[in-house]
């Protein structure tokens, strides 16, 4: 101990001797050394004030933090300013199809106040003339007032506000209704005839309708309403709808559009007429319900295509909606920009204020100089050309130095400094490595008590004892009383509203600041931790471990071991970097920890017992390291706790790894600063469930993560599973209580009520349907994949999208089980078993970060229990990953850290030995190593096919001369691939911005554009999941693409050789790395346009490996709308290599990005032709012609298909040729 202290003091003195005359020091960024600071902000004016010193530190930290935020604010402001577009309205009006269709149509109120009628007055006029034959022309003209007594009528709509205020209604003249009357009728004569007829039959509905028509033409709403009220009362059921429509139209024109909507909707229940939809839409527009109005206009136009006003009004409204949305986004962006700038200015002013306060606390220049001179005086002794003396200020003595000759003084200081260094080096003792105890163990004072203890410990040293001496607690046997308790917890009536209100504070929803602190005891696995800490150390709960005591550090056990992938997860890395903090201390676990020995033990005593177990290798390593991790969790040191968990998983990864994984997940949860970290914790817990699905704690912790991520339905499923496994697990019961109370408060249904079993057909009885989603259903397929099914009343099923099942989906309905007779399924399960048995890298391959409860390959008792009780939802999964038969790892080494993209597995055989032409003579044999065809094939638009058929109609194939001079054979169609390429310039990107064409081009051997490796590759973004990528070094049919030579040379100046252009690209890559605006967020600092262009060089050379390397770089870095450029090249390379299915998937993705790019259509057509799928090939050849009618290669291939196959393709009949 003394020797070690001496070494430390000597080393410190030696370090000081090597320094200059500085009084302040700081730790370097790597934390391994210290360096002097010449102008330290901690050189305080009042060095005696601790309060001022701490305040100075706080201010400097605040300045540093605020300066880091400046760049983020500036970036945000620039992005928001780019979004702002003052010309947005004119751009939308000039380019949007709805705005163009609407033209200058106004969406003000007036165009939507239109008169409509469903009643033909001629029939009513005939009735009237039958009553009134001839009238005396000389008598005064009367008006047809409807004044007959009307008793209460349920048809008169007296409850409507407008009807209650009918005396005050006002409408404009409706002269357009007069056109429906015979031309010989003057309006006054018409009114007189109706008045006379009404005197004879005052309750006649036809006459009342004519009277209402008269008053509407004259614009007198109150009289018209009285007539319509009586007409509604006296009309027959068949005629009443037309009268309601007239009343609704009049109320709409009178300004009571809400009442009109009520009437229109009642009319629609009786009559499905275009005019009713049109009138309803007008009323909806006036009340500002424009979305529903558009639907009604579309309905009117669908029922009567001659009603052009409906289409025009719908287009105008859609245009207005788009303009409003754009303006609102612009307004919000403007407010955000102003807010961001104000925040930036406030932060800037704050930093200026803090810097000024920091400067006030620091010594002035003269004080700093005096401090340095005084330090040098006491360090180097008396020096020439300096005079130091004692002076008095305000009654206090102080030292002050003056310099007579600065140059000579500095020379003297330097000479003294060098002498001090020489003396320190000469006098420093030589130390061997043995001086330091690398294990970190301090020498123990060998007292008599300690000697006796160590002697008694000899029989136990090195004993593994890695077999449980008792039965595991889980799966727990459910007694009848527990079963009743479980039924209560899972019932929809628990907890009721009063119980929720009474226990609102007792069972709060967990938050990031109030997480439960839990430990999965090894006792759960059948081990006795108490025996290990007592009996196997020769101690008892009442007898303390002999002194000295120390901490159970684990770092020395794994110091030289590499980090496994699990510990490279961002959440784990973040947790490891956190230092000791009270915030991370899990104090509630302290009692659990001391109870491992006995409730009268102390924390330090238990820690030393664990240290002794580690030092003398007593007991199961995984268990002891987990106990050490528990100690550091209580102490609030996450980094040291993770070191102990690393050791537990490194030494014995196969033994009860879920104990360590649940601890590690809780540490990550407690230290998480981003949602990504919580996802990492979930991945660890899903891995733990794979290890042992019987433990309720693992499900419960996963539920907590889902709560923190606000995924409450999934959280409820996990917590329910925990309660099902152990109804006495009180933390899970409390959280289940909180979740169900929250659900009932929000009016949501329990998760268990959201899924129903349904029988779609006798051949497919086991389909599960989500009630809340309108009957969205799914059914089981092989390999654990579930597909969506739509069951209608005719039991017809249509596939929609694929869903990846949550692992509890098979447990929702016991009848949904896997078909174990399926050879493919057995192969998949066997592959998974092989992974479990042969994996030597620990648990990395089992990382799973889905939201779902993980699948399991055992623990039938517990899983059966969950199967009978649980129902949870599923999440959509559209991606796939390839697993080669016989492989030990799901993910390649390059992608093993991207767990969030692990998806459904398809088994694809991988060649056991390198492929050669002697093994495979036909390129089509490569399909044996390719992925299965996707269920949804890429297809062109029907409009494109229809347009393309016009340029080479199928009718011409019957022409005898159609096949004359045909040069292309069917084998050429299959085997003669065409090189296709899309330049970035076709997408509006100028390559000259990234490559200098003005300087002379180098043509030096080795100047080749090698694309950099990816920093953070995404296997799905770079399409590494396709088998073709993994076979890239065995493309035996891929040849140099000389046809692309001209295209590559066109990237440079005129008449430049290939080597010159390659040299330019290589230099451009180096320049890109040195240019911040080009290298930012680009792997290796190389801009994606350069890697895309470099692909051409490697394709011309016939180097598929380097070509795909450049394409992966482009795909990983290019914007989403530019990825089709690389995907076309990738599809073309895979096509030429014979991996047609991979080529089709890459090309289909490109089509989704750019559906109007000629090269994509032609590439996909060629792929289908090589597959002998002539129908789909023809569709794409025709769509190619629709985009470029003069494209002769497409026409030549169309002729080849028709002429050589002798087939008649009727697909064009489905395109509705006109």
Q: What mean pLDDT is predicted for residues 907-914?
A: 62
Under a CB-based contact definition with an 8 Å cutoff, are residues 469 and 715 in contact?
Answer: no
**Residue 48 vs residue 839, higher pLDDT:** 48
**Residue 88 vs residue 1193, higher pLDDT:** 1193
pLDDT value, residue 49: 87
pLDDT surpasses 90 at 928: no
Phi, psi (rounded to 5 degrees) for 323: -65, -45
DSSP 1047-1084: HHHTTSSTT--HHHHHHHHHHHHHHHHH-HHHHTTSGG
Rounded to the nearest 10°, the torsion over CA 529, 530, 531, 536 is 90
Where in the sequence is the domain holding 591, given as residue range(s)?
526-655
Output the domain CATH number for residue 159: 1.25.40.10
pLDDT surpasses 60 at 55: yes
Under a CB-based contact definition with an 8 Å cutoff, are residues 978 and 1162 in contact?
Answer: yes
List pLDDT tens digits, range 1073-1092: 888 888 888 888 899 999 99
The domain boundary residue, chosen from 844, 874, 908: 908
pLDDT surpasses 70 at 685: yes
Tokens 């032609």, residue located: 1162
Mean pLDDT highest for which of 783-792, 832-841, 914-923, 1093-1102? 1093-1102
Is 500 among the domain residues?
no
List pLDDT tens digits, range 654-671: 778 999 999 999 999 999
Is 869 among the domain residues?
yes
Do residues 248 and 132 share a domain?
Answer: yes
Is 1032 among the domain residues?
no
Judge residue 1025's burial from the number of C-beta atoms within 10 Å of its C-beta, 0-12 exposed, 13-18 middle, 19 or more buried.
Answer: buried
Q: What mean pLDDT is predicted for residues 1049-1059?
A: 79
The sign of the torsion formed by the CA atoms of 573, 576, 577, 583 equals: positive
Is 602 among the domain residues?
yes
Selection from 817, 767, 755 nearest residue 792 by Cα: 767
Is 219 among the domain residues?
yes
Structure tokens at 1083: 């792997």
Q: What mean pLDDT is predicted for residues 965-992?
A: 78
Which residues touch 957 (CB under 8 Å, ≥6 apart)?
1202, 1203
DSSP 672-686: --SHHHHHHHHHHHH
**Residue 1034 vs residue 431, higher pLDDT:** 1034
pLDDT value, residue 1113: 93
**Maximum distance among all Cα pairs of the chain, rounded to whole angstroms:** 144
List pLDDT tens digits, range 587-630: 999 999 999 998 778 899 999 999 999 999 898 999 999 999 99
Average pLDDT, the chain: 77
Is 77 among the domain residues?
yes
Grouping H, G, I as helix, E, B as strand and the rest as coil, residue 519 is coil
Do residues 75 and 215 share a domain?
Answer: no
Do residues 348 and 326 share a domain?
Answer: yes
pLDDT value, residue 435: 34
Angle, helices 237-253/257-270, rounded to nearest 10 degrees:
160
List pLDDT tens digits, range 335-372: 888 888 888 888 889 888 888 888 888 888 888 888 88
Under a CB-based contact definition with an 8 Å cutoff, are residues 833 and 879 in contact?
Answer: no
CB atoms within 10 A of CB 226: 21
Q: How many residues does the chain have?
A: 1218
Structure tokens at 538: 């020769």
pLDDT surpasses 60 at 525: yes
Judge residue 322's burial from the number of C-beta atoms within 10 Å of its C-beta, 0-12 exposed, 13-18 middle, 19 or more buried.
Answer: middle
pLDDT value, residue 506: 77
Structure tokens at 149: 């007594």
pLDDT surpasses 90 at 692: no
Under a CB-based contact definition with an 8 Å cutoff, are residues 607 and 633 in contact?
Answer: no
Distance, in Å, from the CA atom of 242 to the CA atom of 117, rounded to the nearest integer, reads 8
Do residues 142 and 113 share a domain?
Answer: no
Mean pLDDT highest for which of 538-547, 741-750, 1052-1061? 538-547
Selection from 625, 633, 520 nearest residue 575 by Cα: 633
Selection from 1207, 1145, 1129 nearest residue 1173 by Cα: 1207
Is 169 among the domain residues?
yes
Query: Percentage of the chain surpassing pLDDT 70?
Result: 78
pLDDT surpasses 50 at 580: yes
pLDDT surpasses 60 at 808: no
| Reported confidence tier of residue 53, pLDDT bands at 50, 70, 90 | confident
The domain boundary residue, chosen from 634, 655, 676: 655
Distance, in Å, from the CA atom of 1180 to the CA atom of 1128, rounded to the nearest integer, reads 15
| Reported confidence tier of residue 442, pLDDT bands at 50, 70, 90 | very low
Q: What mean pLDDT is predicted for residues 407-414?
A: 90
Tokens 């309108």, residue located: 774
List pLDDT tens digits, range 698-747: 999 999 999 999 888 889 989 999 999 999 999 999 999 899 888 876 55
Selection from 746, 800, 750 nearest residue 771 by Cα: 750
Do residues 132 and 192 share a domain?
Answer: yes
| Reported confidence tier of residue 1125, pLDDT bands at 50, 70, 90 | very high
pLDDT surpasses 70 at 906: no
Do residues 587 and 550 share a domain?
Answer: yes
Q: Tell me which of 482-491, 880-889, 1139-1148 is least confident.
A: 880-889
| Reported confidence tier of residue 1178, pLDDT bands at 50, 70, 90 | very high
pLDDT value, residue 747: 52
Structure tokens at 1075: 């240019």
pLDDT surpasses 80 at 880: no
Mean pLDDT highest for which of 30-39, 873-882, 1162-1171? 1162-1171
Do residues 12 and 77 share a domain?
Answer: no
Do residues 180 and 112 share a domain?
Answer: no
| Reported confidence tier of residue 909, pLDDT bands at 50, 70, 90 | low
Do residues 769 and 904 share a domain?
Answer: yes
Distance, in Å, from the CA atom of 601 to the CA atom of 589, rounded to the nearest integer, reads 14
Do residues 27 and 109 share a domain?
Answer: no
Structure tokens at 815: 């009848």
pLDDT surpasses 90 at 967: no
Is 151 among the domain residues?
yes
Do residues 531 and 544 share a domain?
Answer: yes
Q: What mean pLDDT is predicted for residues 760-776?
A: 42
The domain boundary residue, chosen from 655, 674, 707: 655
Phi, psi (rounded to 5 degrees) for 1180: -75, -30
Tally of domains within the chain: 5
pLDDT value, residue 917: 65
Q: How far is CA 473 from CA 725, 995, 1002, in A?
A: 11, 68, 74
pLDDT value, residue 646: 93
Do residues 112 and 139 share a domain?
Answer: no
**Residue 1213 vs residue 1058, higher pLDDT:** 1058
């Amino acid at each position: 101990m003394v020797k070690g202290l001496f070494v430390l003091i000597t080393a410190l003195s030696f370090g000081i001797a090597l320094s200059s005359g500085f009084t302040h020091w700081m730790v370097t960024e790597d934390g391994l050394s210290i360096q002097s600071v010449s102008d330290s902000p901690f050189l305080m004016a009042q060095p005696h004030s601790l309060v001022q010193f701490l305040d100075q530190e706080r201010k400097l930290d605040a300045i540093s933090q605020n300066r880091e935020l400046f760049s983020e604010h500036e970036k945000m402001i620039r992005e928001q300013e780019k979004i702002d577009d003052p010309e947005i309205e004119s751009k939308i009006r000039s380019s949007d199809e709805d705005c163009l269709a609407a033209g200058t149509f106004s969406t003000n109120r007036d165009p939507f106040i239109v008169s409509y009628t469903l009643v033909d007055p001629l029939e009513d006029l005939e009735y009237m003339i039958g009553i009134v034959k001839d009238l005396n022309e000389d008598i005064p003209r009367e008006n047809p007032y409807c004044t007959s007594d009307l008793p209460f009528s349920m048809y008169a709509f007296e409850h409507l506000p407008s009807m209650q205020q009918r005396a005050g209604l006002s409408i404009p003249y409706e002269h357009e209704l007069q056109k429906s009357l015979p031309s010989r009728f003057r309006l006054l004569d018409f009114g007189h005839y109706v008045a006379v007829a009404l005197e004879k039959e005052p309750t006649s509905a036809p006459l009342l309708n004519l009277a209402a028509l008269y008053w509407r033409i004259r614009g007198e709403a109150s009289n018209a309403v009285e007539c319509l009220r009586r007409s509604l009362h006296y009309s027959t059921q068949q005629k009443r709808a037309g009268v309601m429509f007239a009343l609704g139209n009049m109320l709409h024109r009178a300004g009571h559009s809400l009442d009109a909507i009520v009437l229109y909707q009642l009319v629609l229940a009786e009559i499905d007429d275009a005019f009713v939809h049109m009138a309803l839409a007008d009323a909806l527009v006036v009340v500002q319900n424009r979305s529903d109005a558009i639907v009604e206009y579309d309905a009117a136009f669908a029922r009567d295509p001659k009603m052009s006003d409906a289409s025009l009004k719908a287009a105008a409204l859609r245009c207005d909606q788009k303009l409003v949305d754009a303006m609102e986004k612009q307004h919000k962006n403007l407010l955000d920009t102003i807010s961001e700038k104000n925040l930036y200015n406030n932060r800037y002013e704050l930093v200026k204020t803090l810097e000024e306060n920091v400067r006030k606390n620091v010594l002035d220049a003269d004080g700093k100089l005096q401090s340095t001179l005084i330090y040098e005086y006491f360090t180097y002794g008396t020096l020439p050309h300096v005079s130091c003396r004692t002076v008095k200020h305000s009654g206090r003595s102080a030292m002050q130095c003056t310099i007579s000759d600065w140059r000579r003084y500095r020379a003297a200081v330097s000479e003294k400094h060098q002498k001090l260094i020489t003396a320190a080096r000469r006098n420093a003792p030589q130390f061997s490595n043995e001086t330091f105890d690398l294990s970190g163990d301090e020498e123990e004072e060998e007292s008599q008590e300690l000697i006796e203890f160590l002697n008694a410990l000899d029989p136990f040293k090195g004993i593994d004892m890695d077999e449980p001496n008792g039965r595991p607690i889980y799966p727990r046997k459910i007694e009848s009383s527990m079963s009743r308790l479980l039924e209560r917890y899972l019932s929809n009536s628990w907890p009721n509203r009063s119980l929720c209100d009474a226990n609102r504070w007792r069972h709060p929803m967990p938050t990031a600041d109030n997480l439960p602190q839990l430990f999965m005891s090894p006792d759960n696995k059948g081990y006795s931790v108490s025996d290990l800490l007592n009996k196997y150390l020769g101690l008892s709960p009442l007898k303390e471990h002999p002194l000295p005591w120390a901490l159970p550090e684990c770092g020395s056990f794994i110091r030289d071991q590499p980090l496994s992938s699990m510990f490279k997860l961002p959440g784990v890395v973040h947790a490891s970097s956190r230092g000791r903090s009270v915030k991370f201390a899990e104090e509630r676990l302290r009692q659990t920890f001391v109870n491992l020995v006995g409730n009268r033990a102390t924390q330090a005593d238990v820690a030393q017992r664990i240290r002794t177990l580690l030092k003398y290798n007593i007991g199961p390593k995984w268990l002891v390291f987990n106990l050490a991790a528990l100690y550091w969790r209580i102490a609030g040191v996450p980094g040291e706790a993770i070191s102990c968990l690393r050791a537990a998983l490194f030494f014995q990864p196969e033994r009860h790894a879920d104990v360590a994984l649940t601890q590690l997940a809780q540490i990550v949860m407690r230290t998480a600063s981003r949602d990504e970290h919580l996802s990492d914790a979930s991945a660890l817990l899903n891995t733990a469930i794979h290890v042992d699905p019987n433990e309720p704690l693992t499900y419960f912790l996963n539920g907590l993560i889902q709560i923190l991520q606000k995924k409450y339905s999934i959280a409820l499923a996990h917590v329910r599973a925990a309660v099902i496994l152990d109804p006495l697990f009180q933390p899970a019961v409390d959280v289940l209580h909180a979740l169900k109370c929250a659900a009932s408060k929000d009016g949501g249904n329990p998760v268990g009520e959201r899924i129903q079993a349904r029988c779609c057909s006798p051949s497919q009885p086991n389909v599960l349907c989500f009630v809340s989603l309108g009957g969205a259903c799914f059914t089981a397929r092989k390999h654990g994949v579930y597909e969506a099914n739509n069951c209608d009343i005719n039991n017809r099923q249509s596939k929609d999208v694929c869903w990846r099942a949550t692992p509890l989906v098979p447990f929702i309905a016991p009848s949904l089980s896997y078909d174990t007779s399926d050879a493919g399924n057995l192969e998949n399960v066997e592959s998974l078993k092989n992974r479990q048995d042969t994996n030597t890298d620990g648990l990395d391959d089992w990382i799973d970060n889905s939201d779902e409860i993980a699948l399991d390959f055992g623990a039938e008792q517990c899983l059966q229990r969950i199967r009978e009780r649980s129902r949870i939802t599923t999440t959509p999964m559209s991606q796939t990953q390839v697993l080669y038969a016989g492989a030990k790892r799901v993910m390649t080494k390059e992608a093993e850290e991207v767990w969030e993209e692990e998806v459904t597995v398809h088994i694809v055989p991988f060649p056991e030995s390198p492929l050669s032409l002697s093994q495979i003579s036909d390129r089509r044999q490569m399909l044996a190593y390719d992925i299965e065809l996707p269920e949804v094939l890429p297809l062109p638009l029907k409009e494109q096919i229809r347009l393309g058929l016009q340029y080479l109609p199928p009718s011409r194939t019957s022409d005898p001369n159609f096949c004359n001079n045909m040069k292309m054979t069917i084998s050429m169609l299959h085997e003669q691939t065409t090189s296709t390429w899309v330049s970035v310039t076709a997408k509006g990107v100028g390559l000259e911005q990234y490559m200098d064409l003005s300087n002379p081009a180098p043509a030096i051997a080795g100047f080749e554009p090698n694309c950099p490796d990816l920093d953070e590759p995404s296997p799905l973004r770079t399409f590494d999941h396709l088998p073709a990528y993994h076979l890239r070094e065995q493309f035996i049919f891929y040849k140099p693409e000389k046809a692309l030579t001209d295209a590559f040379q066109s990237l440079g100046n005129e008449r430049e050789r290939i080597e010159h252009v390659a040299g330019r690209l290589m230099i451009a890559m180096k320049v890109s790395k040195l240019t911040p605006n080009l290298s930012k967020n680009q792997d290796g600092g190389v801009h994606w346009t350069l890697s895309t262009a470099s692909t051409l060089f490697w394709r011309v050379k016939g180097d598929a490996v380097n070509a795909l390397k450049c394409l992966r770089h482009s795909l990983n870095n290019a914007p989403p709308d530019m990825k089709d450029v690389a995907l076309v090249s990738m599809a073309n390379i895979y096509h030429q290599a014979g991996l047609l299915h991979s080529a089709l998937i890459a090309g289909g993705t490109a089509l989704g990005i750019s559906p109007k790019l000629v090269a994509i259509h032609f590439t996909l057509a060629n792929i289908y032709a090589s597959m002998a799928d002539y129908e789909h090939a023809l569709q794409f050849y025709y769509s190619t012609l629709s985009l470029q009618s003069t494209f002769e290669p497409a026409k030549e291939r169309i002729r080849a298909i028709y002429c050589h196959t002798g087939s008649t393709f009727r697909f064009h009949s489905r395109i509705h040729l006109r």
